[in-house]
Amino acid sequence: MTRTRIVVPCFEEAQRLDGEALSGLVSREPGTDLLLVDDGSQDDTLAMLRAVAARNPDRVEVLALARNVGKAEAVRQGILQALDRPDTAYVGYFDADLSTPLSAVADLRGVLEADAALQMVFGSRVLMAGHHIERVALRHYLGRIWATVASYLVDFAMYDTQCGAKLFRASPWVHSVFATPFVSDWLFDFEIVIRWISLSQEDDRPRARDVVVEYPLAEWVHRGGGAVGPAAYFHAFADLVRLHRHYYPATRAAAETPARGPEAEEPPQC
Ligand SMILES: Nc1nc2c(ncn2[C@@H]2O[C@H](COP(=O)(O)OP(=O)(O)OP(=O)(O)O)[C@@H](O)[C@H]2O)c(=O)[nH]1
Ligand SMILES: [Mg+2]
C-alpha cells in the first residue's frame, strides 16, 4: 500500500501537543503515517513526540533536530526524509497546534487523487456557509492583503498562502522544490510556489498555476499560544525582500510565460 506521510514541525510545543489526536489519525487512517520533527526544543516536546512514536512504532517516526532551525527548514528536512521512503505517494505538513484538524489530510489527498496533473494542494481558510473557520480578525485581514500582493507577484490568484496545512504529490518535481534550503522562513509557503515557477524555467514542468490548487478547509480554529507576534510581520517583510532579490526577474518571466501544450497555441484563425 502506498503511504501518505505528514510532517508535523514542533518547536516548544509541550503545552499544545495533543498526542491523542496524533495517535488517533494513524489508527483511523491506515494509509497515513506521521513524521514528527522536533526543531531543537528546550521543553518536553521531544519526549512527548517519542511517546507518541512508541505507541505507534510502525506508523510514527520522530526526527530530532539538534538545534532550532526554524519552521521552514524543519519542514523541509521532514519532507525530504518522507520523500526518501520509496512507498510515499503523498507528503505534506500540518502545524502542531492542529488548528487544521488531521481529518483534513484525507480531504486534501482526495483533491490530488482526483486529478493526476495536480502537484500541490494548499488548505485555505475561507469563511463560507457550512465551514467552521475561527480566525483572529486582524490576522485575517493582514492575510488577505498579503495574499493579494502574493497573487500579483506570481500572476495567479491565491486566497491563503500561509495556512499550515499543505499536501504534495511525491514526484521528482516536488522533490526539487524542497532539495535546497529556502531563502525565507516566514514566507516559505509562498516560496514553494515561487520556487516551482523559477524551476519551470529550467525544466519542462507545467506552470505553477496549473498544478497548485487551494482547498477550502471544513474547519480551522485559531489556537493561540504560538510564537507569532508583531515581530513576525517585520520578519515577513524582510523575507519578501530576500525573495525578490533571490528569484526576480526569473519568476516574473516564468509566471508570464503562456502555458505549454495545445492550450498554449494560437487560437485558430477563422
Ligand atoms: N515559531 C516557530 N515555529 C516553529 C519553529 N520550528 C517549528 N515550528 C512549528 O511551526 C508551526 C507553526 O508555528 P508558528 O508559525 O509559530 O505559528 P503558531 O505557533 O501556530 O502560532 P499561532 O498562530 O499563534 O498559533 C508549529 O507547528 C511550530 O511548532 C520555529 O523555529 N519557530
Ligand atoms: Mg497556529
Per-residue pLDDT of the chain (270 residues; tens, 9 = 90+): 899 999 999 999 999 999 999 999 999 999 999 999 999 999 999 999 999 999 999 999 999 999 999 999 999 999 999 999 999 999 999 999 999 999 999 999 999 999 999 999 999 999 999 999 999 999 999 999 999 999 999 999 999 999 999 999 999 999 999 999 999 999 999 999 999 999 999 999 999 999 999 999 999 999 987 767 778 888 999 999 999 999 987 777 776 776 665 554 444 444
Q: Is 206 in a helix, a strand, or coil?
A: coil
Cβ distance 100 to 164 under 8 Å? yes
247 CA distance to ligand 1 centroid (A)?
25
Nearest listed ligand to the Cα of residue 235 = 1
Residue nearest to atom 24 of ligand 1 (CA): 226
Q: Is 62 in a helix, a strand, or coil?
A: strand
Cβ distance 84 to 78 under 8 Å? no
Place of cell 485555505: 124
Integer Rg of the chain from CA: 19
The DSSP H or E segment spanning 48 is helix 45-55
**What are the boundaries of each domain within the chain?**
3-258
At 228 the pLDDT is 72
At 259 the pLDDT is 63
Pick the CATH number of 3-258 from 1.10.260.30, 3.90.550.10, 3.40.50.720, 3.30.479.10: 3.90.550.10
- Residue 266 burial (C-beta neighbours within 10 Å; 0-12, 13-18, 19+): exposed
Nearest-atom number in ligand 1 for the CA of 223 is 25
For 266, residues 6+ apart whose C-beta sits below 8 A from its C-beta are none
At 266 the pLDDT is 46
Of 65, 98, 228, 233, the residue with max ligand 1 atoms within 8 A of its CB, to mutate for a pocket test, comes to 228
Of 71, 125, 134, 189, the residue with max ligand 1 atoms within 8 A of its CB, to mutate for a pocket test, comes to 71
Q: Ligand 1 site: residues with CB under 6 angstroms?
A: 9-11, 13, 39, 68, 70-71, 74, 95-97, 164, 223-224, 226-228
Q: How far is CA 120 from CA 13, 128, 198, 252, 253, in A?
A: 27, 22, 16, 20, 22
Q: What angle do CA 85, 20, 46 make, to 5 degrees?
A: 60
In 3D space, the residue among 4, 59, 14 whose CA is nearest the CA of residue 39 turns out to be 14
Q: Which triple of cell numbers denotes residue 97? A: 497546534
Residue nearest to atom 11 of ligand 1 (CA): 95
CA dist., res. 252 & res. 128, Å (int):
32
